Structure 1
């Protein structure tokens, strides 16, 4: 009878996979011995596998270069990383090794950019695409960046007033983009994105405010879909509408030579994940070229802003199951030694699912369980996998510690969770480990941050 955890995984998914393998009964992630990591640093812990950032950037660049070549596309491709996905220095350092550009969302982002410029990691050749709703400090920081000589800083106009604010803050000629306020999916709570300018209003706005403004040049049209780049009729319909606006603009504005197809690629959230990245890139390039050729206008240079795709698959979290509570005839609660609300807030806020696997004891029998966090909040739980209506793990045994891992958690979780700050019920932020490879390909680890201490929280709360 096949009733072991390894049998369940093998029957449910194709296993092993590129990043997940097994050594005896211990899970390996990109060749990293996770039990060895636990033995060295303990649990709970967060980790970042830095090489995966570069791996994903290189993959995307390859897909786009292949599509441009296949379709004899005359524009170029520019990979941007949206810093809001993870602002940490080690993330930016790794990403910037790959000849990329940066997309910002707020005033303090520009302070990070200035820091990287001072270190020589961002140069005048790097585009800085400034998105988001802009007021006072953000406008001032953008102005200072451009006034300081960074001509490839392109603020994206989000509303009608921003152009005047930027003009007042910038002492020289500068380039801008315009963000399209795309229509949201039919099931969304509202009809049109709160960000950007409506499709029908973009050309009139250009003619009224930019066309005869000697100081401002329109460089880019920015197209963003909140649900990301997916093979759905909704996405293709919005892309077609965007291309119509680009073609209209290009016919009257020869300086608009770039199209930013914002909205990211999905990342792997299940061992059954299936997404044809190469097909999607090929089809996007093909659709843009056909539309432009039919209209007799030059194709635009392509910009993408990949945040989760860049950094998401580099991250992971490991917990220990502390105790099992039998609450009724059917429900067994495995209590972890941390909190989902604080360490993986998207599981609580938007019911996001990550890849979840046992780290050890794969040859033990399995059982159906629910996972509970340490806070006293009834919402601090995790109860189903993406492709199963429940969670199955090796049977709890108080004499045999069980560790579980959540993978591809590298985007947004630290910033949304308030890294280094107060946590719900004062559950401490876990320690964070950086994992890299040396010039010989050997795995190296470094402790980035210790687990939060009581005195850290007391100081924030004013007790010290």
Structure 2
């Protein structure tokens, strides 16, 4: 009779998978013994597996370069990393090993870029694509970067006033892009993105403010879909509308030579996850080429901005089940030794689901449970998986500790949760461990940050005087 947790996994998914396997009854993630990690550092614990950042960057570069070759596409491909997904230095250092470019979204991002330039991680040849609504400090910082010689900095115009603001502070000629205000999916609460300039207004905007402006070159059209690159009618329809704008602009703007197809790839959120990245890339390149051939204009260089895809699959969190509460005939609550609201805020804010697997006890029988966090907030829970409306885990046994891993959590969670700051109910941030490989391929670990102490929180609250 198949009653063990391992039986449930084997009959539900193809297992083992590329990053997950069992070794001596314990879960391995990219050949990392997670139980050994817990034994060394304890739980709760967050970790970042740095090599996965490079792995995903190089996968995407391979897909695009193959598609360019297959379609005899004459433009170049440039991979950009969205720093807002994770601003940490260890993330940027790993990503920048792979000859990539940067997308920024706020004033302090430019300070990070300048810091990386001083260290030689970024050069003047690195494209810095600056998105977002630009307040005065952001404009000033972009201007400083360009005035100091970074000619591959391209501010993306988000509204009608930004061009004048940039022109006032930038010395000499500079390049810009224009962001399209794409229409949102039908289920959205509003019709059009608040960011960018509407499809019908872009050509008039170019004619009125850029075409006769000897100080400004229009270099890039920026197309961003909030829900990311998906194989559905909505995405292809918006891409075709974007290409109509691009070809119309190109006919009257010789300096326009780049198309930024912002909006990221999805990342794995379940053992049942499937997405044909290679097909999507090939079809996007094919559609761009066809549209340009039809309108008899040269194809653009392609830029992408991948944030979650770059860093998301490098991250994980490990918790211990502290206690089980039987609240009624049907509901068993496994209480973890941390909080979902504070350590995985996307589970609470946007009902996001990550891959959830036990670290140990795979040969034990399983049960259906709900997971509860330590805060006193009723929303601090996790109750379903991406592929089903339930959670199944090895049965609770107070004599046999159970450890749970949440995987592919590397994007946004630290910044949304407020790394190093106050957390709901003063739940401390857990330890954070960096995992890397040396030149021989051996796994190395280092402690990036300790678990928050009472003194840390009291100081923020003003109780230390």
Same fold, judged at TM 0.5 (above):
yes
Task: Specify the alignment match of 2:211 in structure 1.
Answer: 211
Task: Show structure 1 runs of 5+ residues with no match.
Answer: none
The equivalent residue for 1:262 is: 262
Q: What's the CA shift for 1:174? A: 0.2
The correspondence of residues 7-406 of structure 1 with structure 2, limited to 5 A, is 7-406=7-406
Q: Distance in 2 between matches of 1:141 and 1:55?
A: 32
Q: Which secondary structure state, in structure 1, belongs to the residue aligned with residue 260 of structure 2? A: strand
Unaligned runs of 5+ in 2: none
Q: Deviations over 1:241-268 (max 9, x none)?
A: 0000000000000100000000000000
The separation in 2 between residues aligned to 1:410 and 1:352, in whole angstroms, is 13
SS at match of 2:138: helix
Tell me, what secondary structure is at the counterpart of 1:175?
A: strand
After TM superposition, the score normalised by the length of structure 2 is: 1.00
TM-score by length of 1: 1.00
Secondary structure of the 1:325 match is strand
How far residue 388 of structure 1 moved from its aligned partner, in angstroms, is 1.6
Give me the whole-angstrom Cα distance separating, in 2, the residues matched to 1:389 and 1:263.
28
Give the 3-state SS of the residue equivalent to 2:352 in structure 1. Answer: coil
Per-residue displacement from partner, 1:376-404 (whole Å, max 9, x unpaired)?
00000000001121101000010100000
CA distance in 1, matches of 2:166, 2:452: 41
Runs of 4 or more above 6 Å deviation = none
- Partners in 2 of 1:135 and 1:382 — Cα distance? 38
SS at match of 1:155: strand
CA positional deviation for 1:24: 2.3
- Indicate the SS of the match to 2:16: coil
State whether structure 2 residue 426 is matched by structure 1 residue 426: yes
Separation of aligned partners in 1, 2:289 and 2:34: 46
Structure 1 residue 171, shift from structure 2 partner = 1.0
Deviation at 1:277, TM superposition (A): 0.1
CA distance in 2, matches of 1:444, 1:129: 34
* d(CA) in 1 for partners of 2:171, 2:290: 40
Separation in structure 2 between the aligned mates of residue 29 and residue 124 of structure 1, nearest angstrom? 37
Instruction: Figure out how many residues of one structure are paired with residues of the other and give that number.
Output: 464
Q: CA RMSD in A?
A: 0.4
